[in-house]
Amino acid sequence: MPTEADSLSPSPSIPADTDRPAPGRWRQVSLLGGLLSVDNGESSVVSVLFPALRTALGLPLAALGALTSVSKLVAVFLGPLWVLVAQRYPRKTVLAVCSGLWGVWTMACGLAQNYVQLLLLFTIAAAGVAGGGPLANGLLADLFDDGTRGRASSYLYGLAAIGVGVSGPLLGQLADTEDGWRYGFFAAGALQVVAGTLVLLFLRDPGVGAAEPQLGANTHPSVRERDLTWARIRELLRNRTLLVICGQRLFTGQFVLLAFGVTFLVEERGFSNAAASTITLPVAVAYIAGTLLGGVVTDRLHRRNPRTGRIRVMQCVLFAYVAMAAVTTQIAWSSPAVYFLLFALVAAVQSALPGINRPLMMAAVLPELRSAAFALMLSVEAAGWAVTTLCVGFIGDAFGLRTAFLWFVVVLTSIGALLITLLYRTYPRDAAAVQAALDRRSATAATL
C-alpha cells in the first residue's frame, strides 16, 4: 500500500466512463494487441509443433516442459530489467525492441541442429519477450481510466488471441512438411519484427498517469511522473493486493493446459498432430468472445460494486475454470467434436481473467509503479509456470498427461482460487490509498 496515502476513503472511487484520455487510444491498443499476438511466436511453434519437433530431434516429452519452463524462468529476471531500461529510454522504443525486433532470435531457433542449440536459442528469444507484458499493461493503464480498463484489457488480450487462433492451424499444417517446424520459427520471428516496427513508427505514449482524472495529460511533469527507485520498489512490495494477486498467479495451472493441449490430444486421445493443432482455432474464437464479453460485464459490476465486484467475478471464473478443466482432461470422450467444444469452453472461461486482474492491479498501484508491479506479477507467474510445466513434463512421462493435469491444473488452480478470498480485505484499502495519494498530487499541481 502506498506509504504517502494514510487517509483512506471508504471505497475506491470510480471515474466516469468517458473518453477524456488520449484520442485514438483504441488504435493504440490495437497496436499493442497486435504486438502481444505475435511476441510469443517461439512458444506457439513449440506448443503446436512439438510432436513433429520431438520426432525430428529425438526429444522426450519432458523436453516440452523444459523449453516452456526455461522461457518462463528467464522472464522472472528479465521482465523487471526491461522495466528499468524503460525508465531511461522511451517506453515504446524499449517495447518495440524487446517484444518485436527481438524476433530475429525466434527466426534463429529454426536453425538449431540439436536440442542443446534449440534450448539456447529459445532462451535468448524468450529473454526479449519478457518485457512485453509489463510495458504493454503499463501503457494501457495510462490510456484508459478505471471505468474502462476492464474493457480495454479484454480488447488487448482478445487481439492477442486472434494471432494464436490464426497461427495455430497454419502452423499445424507444417507438421507433415519436412523441417516444417523450422519454417514455423522463421515465420513467427518475421511477424514479431514487423509488429515491433509498426509499434516503433505509430505508437504514441500518453505519459505516465495521463488517464488519472486527478492528474491528466496536462499536469506538471514533476507531479505526474516520478522515477522508479529502489525505495519505491520496496514500497511496492508492501502492497498487499499485489502480493495476493502474485500468490494466486503462482498457483495457476491454466497455461499448462494450453501449452500441453495439442500434445495431450495426440498422446492421450489418439489425434494426429495436424488434427490436434486445429483445436487452436475454436479455442481462439472462444477466447476472444469470452475476453470481450468478460471485460464489459466486469466493468459494469465494478461500477455497481467498486469494493468487491471484480473480486467476486474473478473467484467465480477461477472455480468455473477448475470444473471445466476437470471435465475436459479427466474424462475420455469418444468424439473429437466434444474435445473441440470443451477446450473452447475452457478458453472462454479463462479469457475473462485479464479483464479482471489487470484493472485490479492498476487501481491498487500508483501510476509510476504499475509497469514494475506487472513485471513482478508476471515474473511470479512465470516462475510458477516454469515449475509447473517441468513437473507436468516429468509426471506426464511417468504417469501420463491425464494424471499430471489432475494435480497441476485442477488441484493447483483450486488453491489459487481460494487465495483470492484475501482480496476482499486488501483491495478496497489499497485502491482507496491510491486515490488519496492522487488527490494530494492534484492539489499540489494546482499550486504550480
Q: Which pLDDT score, from 0 to 100, does residue 67 have?
A: 83
What sections of 305-369 are H helices per DSSP? 309-330, 336-350, 354-364
3-state secondary structure of 348: helix
CA distance 41 to 44: 5
pTM as predicted = 0.77
Separation in Å, CA 418 to CA 115, 229, 349: 39, 33, 17
Confidence band, pLDDT 50/70/90 cuts, at residue 229: low
Instruction: Give the cell for residue 162.
Output: 486472434
CA distance 144 to 133: 17
pLDDT above 60 for 221: no
First to last CA, the chain: 27
Buried-exposed string 120-137: b where 16+ CB fall within 10 A, e elsewhere: ebbbbbbbbbbbbbbbbb
Closest CA to 322 of 363, 287, 288, 350: 350
Average per-residue pLDDT for the chain: 83
Instruction: Give the cell for residue 214.
Output: 486527478
Helix crossing, 354-364 with 240-250: angle to 10°? Answer: 150
Question: Which pLDDT tens digit goes with each residue over 325-342?
Answer: 999 999 999 888 899 999
Confidence band, pLDDT 50/70/90 cuts, at residue 227: low
Question: Which pLDDT tens digit goes with each residue over 344-385?
Answer: 999 899 888 888 889 999 999 988 889 889 988 988 887 887
Confidence band, pLDDT 50/70/90 cuts, at residue 448: low
Q: What percent of the chain has pLDDT over 90?
A: 31
pLDDT above 50 for 139: yes
More confident residue, 14 or 288: 288
Q: What integer is the mean pLDDT of 136-150? A: 89
Q: How many residues does the chain have?
A: 448
Coarse DSSP helix, strand, coil percentages of the chain, rounded to the nearest 5 percent: 75, 0, 25
More confident residue, 226 or 301: 301
CA distance 196 to 189: 11
Q: Which pLDDT score, from 0 to 100, does residue 22 have?
A: 53
Count CB neighbours of 227 within 10 A: 8
Instruction: Give the cell for residue 396.
Output: 506426464
Q: Which pLDDT score, from 0 to 100, does residue 17 have?
A: 37
Closest CA to 1 of 440, 436, 439, 429: 429
Cα angle at 187 between 344 and 348, to 5 degrees?
Answer: 15
Task: Report which secondary-structure segment, H or E, holds 398.
Answer: helix 370-399
Instruction: Give the cell for residue 175.
Output: 507438421
Confidence band, pLDDT 50/70/90 cuts, at residue 3: very low
Is residue 245 within 8 A of residue 360, CB to CB? The reply is yes
Burial of 448 per CB tally in 10 Å (0-12, 13-18, 19+) = exposed
CA distance 151 to 147: 9
Question: Which pLDDT tens digit goes with each residue over 74-119?
Answer: 878 888 889 889 888 999 999 999 988 999 999 999 999 888 899 9
Burial of 395 per CB tally in 10 Å (0-12, 13-18, 19+) = buried
Q: Helix (H) and strand (E) counts for the chain?
A: 22, 0
Instruction: Give the cell for residue 309.
Output: 465486484
Q: What integer is the mean pLDDT of 391-408? A: 89
Is residue 388 within 8 A of residue 66, CB to CB? The reply is no
Q: Which pLDDT score, from 0 to 100, does residue 5 have?
A: 39
Q: Which pLDDT score, from 0 to 100, does residue 140 have?
A: 92
Q: What percent of the chain has pLDDT over 70?
A: 90
Separation in Å, CA 229 to CA 93, 116, 232, 405: 21, 38, 5, 41
Instruction: Give the cell for residue 344.
Output: 473452447
Q: Which pLDDT score, from 0 to 100, does residue 58 have?
A: 85
Question: Which pLDDT tens digit goes with each residue over 164-212?
Answer: 667 777 787 787 788 888 998 999 899 999 999 999 999 988 888 888 8
pLDDT above 50 for 6: no
Q: Which pLDDT score, from 0 to 100, does residue 397 have?
A: 84
Separation in Å, CA 57 to CA 111, 171, 221, 390: 12, 18, 55, 19
Is residue 59 within 8 A of residue 100, CB to CB? The reply is no
